[in-house]
A and B are shown apart, each in its own frame.
Chain A
Amino acid sequence: QVLLVQSGAEVKKPGSSVKVSCKASGGAFTSYSFTWVRQAPGQGLEWMGGIIPFFGPPNYAQKFQGRATITADHFTSTAYMELSSLTSEDTAVYYCSTTGGAYYYGSGSYLSGRDYWGQGTLVTVSS
């Protein structure tokens, strides 16, 4: 059973950066892909980006290219998402997710028939 535990809520000033962590347990972290999704208050889900271990650089939604940085530390089984140049529009709950497999796109995803989500991290951007 894979468990993802995210870091706690953050309050940030406009123009600053935030780094959210997502610690995985209960499985073979080194083979997991991860995605990051956010949800602004009262809004829908927004895919931010994803990473496949040892495969190459992360992929980002066009909207977040150049402003988001997704990394994974396999020694600590932790994935990270850093977002810079924050504005009030970045106020949202940020989720990490994994299918427990090596892919987050294409027919190789969801091979276990399920996925796993962190509990979400509320990031509030306010002056």
Chain B
Amino acid sequence: EIVLTQSPGTLPLSPGERATLSCRASQSVGSNSLAWYQQNPGQAPRLLIYGASSRATGIPDRFSGSGSGTDFTLTISRLEPEDFAVYFCLQYGSSRNTFGGGTKVEIK
């Protein structure tokens, strides 16, 4: 199974700042099949990015994804108050999908 390692574990930032989240895979992710999810407490995950760089339906353009192979990045250009949450990457390039451990973006 592909292991995804997210960093940092916690990212303290202020509203309006730029957030850069990393997701590194233990082996190449097929077809750049990498998604990013946002999760707030008590809620189901919300899809932000799929195919490494395609924004999901209804997702604001301040969210962007990049990367290929084993290194992927989620960037939030200017943090809004509602963006402080936990973010997970998911690889779906193989029949056994795997999630990363998550990055918590918190208010500094």
A interface with B by C-beta (< 8 Å): 35, 37, 44-47, 50, 59-62, 95, 104-107, 109-110, 112-115, 117-120
Contact = CB atoms under 8 A, between A and B. Distances in A.
Interface size range of chain B in the complex:
20 to 34
Residue from B90, B95, B102 whose CB has the most chain A CB atoms within 10 Å: B95
B93 interface: yes
The list of the 10 closest CB pairs from A to B, nearest first, reads A117-B44, A110-B50, A114-B57, A107-B31, A59-B95, A45-B99, A47-B97, A113-B57, A44-B102, A105-B92
A109 B91 CA distance: 11
Contacts of B93: 105-106
Given A61-B96, A106-B33, A119-B44, A44 B101 contact: yes
Interface in B75-108: 86, 88, 90, 92-102
Interface of B: 1, 30-31, 33, 35, 37, 39, 44-45, 47, 50-51, 54, 56-58, 86, 88, 90, 92-102
